[in-house]
Amino acid sequence: MSTEIILGKTKLGFIESAGNLFQNVGIPRTTGQIYGLLYLSPKALSLDDMAAQLSISKASASGGSRQLLGWQAIRQVWIPGERRDFFEVRGELGDVLRSVYENVFRAKIEKSSRKIKDLMITLEAERKSGVLNEEAFKHCQGRLRELETIQSRLNLVLPLLEKLM
């Protein structure tokens, strides 16, 4: 078996894993695939290159690249004599994980916390206005308190996670 075939399978496996990881955390799969492709690419790639190698549309390559640029996971580079934009991975993988954490996870967790508080206020208003009877109110209140407990635990763990990154 030639080295080229092994590297090809390795690269494809890594791209697939990156796509799955991103998808599992709520980020478009193609964004993860683009990052995986660029991470293992020895040279900068254009949108056309990414689209062709990943068998995705140029629009998908563009959208994923913009998202990665926003997180500062990749950077746009100029190649003399080329009119197209080229992209390469920026910094270390740990930097990317920190950026994704800050821009995706932390934001979602904070939004979730605000939503639970808003729901508790709405629940109380519905009880007072008679929309909910006492039994339904207590049941919903108990469930929302469970979510608040989970949210509180997450808020305790987040600072530790931030230090690890």
SS3 at position 30: helix
> What share of residues in the chain are helix, strand, coil (percent, to 5)?
75, 5, 20
pTM as predicted: 0.67
CA 34 to CA 87: how far, in whole Å? 10
Q: pLDDT tens-digit profile of 16-71?
A: 999 998 888 788 999 999 999 999 999 999 999 999 999 999 999 999 999 999 88
Contact 85, 46 (CB under 8 A): yes
